[in-house]
Structure 1
């Protein structure tokens, strides 16, 4: 009989009602034994223009996410790195004949992957989604890929310039500053010295942040795309406060709290709203 995890809470919401949700999330609890897996992806919305692919970002995340979940459950002999590599290769194979997978804007996504059994919890994180580990002693460990925070010049300077713009800055000037910053970041996507997402190259799996924790040492997992971690990244929340909010009021309340704060900002940096997903698994 499946006895764990004892609680699963999942919320995903698009950034705009007229645009598809490019996040993907799933939790699998195999009927044949103890354990399970969690998959969370944040599809990367490309700038307007050609991306070399006839498929949408949500098409890509659904297929990559499905492959990650299936392999995590059926191939216990594979590491999470190997599973990510195989899932990327499998997904690329489904549209290689119709699309230019070498295009820098080919569909791609951030990844959080976790798998557990009675002995251990394995995890993998790639790019800017977050996995929050709650240890049995109450300690919180945010697992993040640090590369976006350590990008070379001129990205830090452009980021600081955008954040320093006063609230009364004319819209055209603000949009130009944001555009310059975004273009500098995009130039470093899946590039040497930059940061990496899961696209069409299986080799990206070796760049993911991975770890393994004895099952008895963990109380819960909380995975979030950056649309949900705005609670911390933009609005001054803490990881402890995030977990308390999720545990006491649910993942839907976290997403709604982010939306309320987004609405309250008169001149936001970048997108006012983003797809937001949070998944909480309590053991």
Structure 2
């Protein structure tokens, strides 16, 4: 197994208060699973973190029992099992992103569903496996409110609810975005990549509470994340992102649903 490091840190809820992280990381002998449970705005459903925990357990069991099977087939089976067990139906279910890295003696694979990227480092540079479809979906005006300096609070939560209502009809549909929820076929819409193991020197896996440091804040690029994680450990990356957010407590510079999102980062050293 490659050397690895994992760091996780809880963010805050929509009320700004501390609560357990809804990110889930599971390390197996020849695979790593990272899930980011979506923050729920519906009190009648389990939390995104509870969904991610159950989905992660189903995925880990399948990867362990049948490591030779296709990753999308394994993910589809896990989504189906969780939906059936809880009687979730499309549009009436919690949701989660999924990122999987798996390797054997010959190859390294990645699967990404929704916004938790996997980055592999090869001699020609970083190969980013990302699913950007959610970024292209109209989300309402909550970001405009934040940019104008109106900050977080009850009005912000109301704007988020309005945004969620606009986004919901586009979930797990062509022309919208795909995520783990109650539609097993979403697994086959994941972004995939495979590389020769001999060429991979490192792999990063991140929830969007960390990838925002690259994609939104511009604090570093992916080689910079790798170098910091290798030198000081993955927690140093999380700390750098959180320190930047503390300079923007009202979300005016970097509009985001919460002042601090949950953070998870995995660093795999294949060198």
TM-score (norm 1): 0.83
- Work out the CA distance in 1 between the residues paired with 2:20 and 2:258: 15
1:62-94 CA-to-partner distances (Å, cap 9, x unmatched) read: 121122122223213310010101111222232
Q: How much does 1:119 deviate?
A: 0.4
Pick which of 170-179 and 15-24 moved more.
170-179
- Candidates 108, 117, 123, aligned match of 1:121: 108
- Candidates 100, 112, 118, aligned match of 1:131: 118
Which secondary structure does the structure 1 equivalent of 2:208 belong to?
Answer: coil
Structure 1 match to 2:37: 43
Q: Which has the larger radius of gyration?
A: 1
Please list every run of 5 or more consecutive structure 2 residues that lacks an aligned counterpart in the other structure. Answer: none
Contact 1:231 1:242 in 2 (8 A): no
- Candidates 206, 218, 226, aligned match of 2:208: 226
- Work out the CA distance in 2 between the residues paired with 1:276 and 1:208: 22
Contact 1:162 1:174 in 2 (8 A): no
1:236-255 CA-to-partner distances (Å, cap 9, x unmatched) read: 13222222211211111111
TM-score (norm 2): 0.86
Q: 1:119 to 1:177 in 2, by over 3 A?
A: same
Does residue 182 of structure 2 align to residue 200 of structure 1?
yes
Q: 1:46 to 1:114 in 2, by over 3 A?
A: same
Please list every run of 5 or more consecutive structure 1 residues that lacks an aligned counterpart in the other structure. Answer: 30-35
- Candidates 85, 95, 99, aligned match of 1:108: 95
1:215-262 CA-to-partner distances (Å, cap 9, x unmatched) read: 111111110000111211332132222222112111111111111111
- Candidates 72, 90, 95, aligned match of 2:86: 95
Aligned length: 260
Q: How much does 1:189 deviate?
A: 2.3
Does residue 65 of structure 2 align to residue 69 of structure 1?
no
1:89-110 CA-to-partner distances (Å, cap 9, x unmatched) read: 22223222xxxx1262412100
Q: 1:86 to 1:228 in 2, by over 3 A?
A: same
1:178-230 CA-to-partner distances (Å, cap 9, x unmatched) read: 55545433442223421111112211111111121111111111100001112
Which secondary structure does the structure 1 equivalent of 2:121 belong to?
Answer: strand
Which secondary structure does the structure 2 equivalent of 1:228 belong to?
Answer: helix
